[in-house]
């Protein structure tokens, strides 16, 4: 193979048409601005908002939690070629390691152009791009979705929720068969590896041609951690059966795929930019908006799943009303303060929060601060109850 042949292969592997190298429609400037002004990652906030859907935490595993504010900063959108029929039908061509990639479940054949958020394309480029290809498995949720930190959960069939209690608390647990694929920053790998090395039942497996560490949290809860690839490393954790079943599942139904195949498998709410304006309108239906609220800023290529998107939108509304209440209180505008408190009180009736409540605790966070405003009163006597609301709600 000549250097020219290699250049052609690299060019053809890129999901962007050559014309985009000349005109990125402002996406290059947006990405540059994001890189220069990227907010710090808050790995606790989303965990707090969504903790009821997780299993009991393990000392060897810190769940990923990237703030809504971080994900919301990824706003540029870039058009890529249509996903052609053979990709939709399940074949993505030769894959790294020589295997044919397939999508996790059938999808409609379409030649319509697909527009991916630039944020999603950046994640796909930086990510080892793992998919579950077993029949019936789909992407259940996406958490974080940053190039160096994020999680994609694959699931077989519908949710199977039940309440689980443990010393010191309880959680709302989904026991459907799942595989969580989490990517962490490379610089955290040594610490994770050292933790695993102390585990008495540590084993090693080969996955994607790499030697990986495997531990078991229970008879049906197993995890494999791979060495770094690029700037991230992966952990795959699943409840698909005993140890032998887990190993076989990884060998038979988990694959690394190319950029286009991986993006095509993600939920449209995460990776596409064209349907977000309608999603904003749906979330805001029946929600009173604070003065000066600009809904147009919410629909610009956010790389969020439906839960995070709901938190992003309702958080901005709640923050706006709290800020309006504070302004009115400080200026002595009792009528405006009462209107803000009344608007926040309606959050108990917002459909989007009730839809989210089965999956996580963010709605309770909104209601907590709505109650704090109501308790504070127009004179602000109970203002201390609002401490920390900006961080808790993801205001920015």
Same domain, 209 and 321: no
Burial 224-259 (b: 16+ CB within 10 A, else e): bbbebbeebbbbbbbbbeeeeebbebbeebbbbbbb
Same domain, 256 and 139: yes
Instruction: Determine the pLDDT at residue 372.
Output: 93
By the 10 Å C-beta count (0-12 exposed, 13-18 middle, 19+ buried), 66 is classed as: buried
* Cross-strand pairs, 110: none
Q: How many CA atoms lie within 13 A of 20 on its CB side?
A: 16
Range of the domain at 358: 305-393
Looking at 228, 256, 271, the residue that finishes a domain is 271
Same domain, 255 and 348: no
Whether 21 is in a domain gets the answer no
pLDDT by position in tens, the chain (length 396): 665 556 555 555 554 444 344 344 444 444 444 433 333 333 333 333 333 333 333 322 322 233 333 233 222 333 333 222 223 333 333 333 333 334 444 344 444 556 777 778 889 999 999 999 999 999 988 887 888 888 999 999 998 988 878 787 777 788 899 999 999 999 999 999 999 888 888 999 999 999 999 999 899 999 999 999 999 999 999 999 999 999 999 999 999 999 999 999 988 767 666 666 777 888 899 999 999 998 776 655 456 677 888 888 999 999 999 999 999 989 999 999 999 999 999 999 999 999 888 778 899 999 999 999 998 865 555 566 888 899 899 887
Same domain, 253 and 342: no
Separation between Cα atoms, residue 250 and residue 269, nearest integer Å: 27
Instruction: Determine the pLDDT at residue 10.
Output: 57
Where does 147-188 have alpha helices with state H? none
Instruction: Determine the pLDDT at residue 308.
Output: 80
The angle formed by the CA atoms of residues 124, 314 and 341, to the nearest 5 degrees, is: 160
**Does residue 227 contact residue 210 with C-beta atoms inside 8 Å?**
yes
Whether 3 is in a domain gets the answer no
Number of domains in the chain: 2
């Amino acid at each position: 193979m000549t250097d020219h042949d290699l250049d052609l292969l690299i060019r053809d592997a890129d999901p962007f048409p050559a014309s985009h190298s000349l005109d990125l429609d402002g996406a290059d400037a947006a990405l540059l601005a994001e890189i220069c002004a990227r907010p710090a990652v808050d790995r606790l906030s989303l965990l707090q908002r969504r903790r009821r859907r997780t299993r009991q935490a393990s000392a060897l595993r810190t769940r990923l939690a990237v703030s809504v504010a971080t994900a919301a900063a990824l706003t540029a959108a870039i058009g890529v070629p249509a996903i052609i029929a053979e990709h939709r039908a399940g074949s993505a061509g030769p894959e790294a390691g020589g295997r044919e990639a397939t999508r996790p479940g059938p999808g409609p054949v379409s030649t319509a152009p697909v527009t991916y958020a630039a944020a999603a394309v950046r994640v796909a480029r930086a990510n080892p791009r793992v998919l579950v290809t077993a029949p019936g498995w789909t992407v259940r949720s996406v958490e974080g979705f940053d190039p160096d930190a994020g999680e994609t959960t694959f699931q077989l069939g519908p949710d199977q929720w039940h309440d689980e209690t443990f010393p010191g608390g309880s959680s709302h647990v989904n026991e459907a068969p799942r595989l969580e694929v989490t990517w962490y920053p490379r610089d955290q790998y040594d610490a994770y590896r050292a933790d695993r090395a102390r585990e008495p039942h540590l084993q090693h497996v080969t996955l994607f041609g790499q030697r990986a560490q495997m531990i078991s949290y229970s008879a049906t809860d197993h995890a494999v951690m791979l060495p770094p690839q690029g700037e991230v490393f992966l952990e795959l954790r699943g409840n698909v059966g005993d140890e032998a079943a887990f190993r076989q599942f990884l060998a038979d139904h988990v694959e690394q795929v190319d950029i286009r195949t991986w993006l095509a498998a993600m939920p449209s709410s995460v990776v596409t930019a064209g349907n977000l304006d309608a999603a904003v309108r749906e979330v805001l239906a029946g929600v009173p908006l604070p003065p000066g609220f600009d809904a147009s800023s919410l629909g610009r290529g956010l790389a969020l799943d439906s839960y995070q998107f709901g938190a992003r939108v309702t958080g901005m509304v709640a923050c706006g009303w709290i800020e309006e209440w504070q302004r009115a209180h400080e200026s002595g505008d009792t009528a405006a303060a009462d209107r803000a408190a009344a608007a926040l009180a309606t959050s108990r009736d917002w459909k989007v929060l009730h839809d989210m409540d089965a999956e996580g605790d963010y709605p309770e966070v909104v209601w907590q601060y709505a109650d704090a405003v109501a308790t504070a009163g127009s004179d602000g006597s109970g203002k201390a109850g609002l401490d920390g609301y900006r961080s808790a709600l993801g205001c920015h």
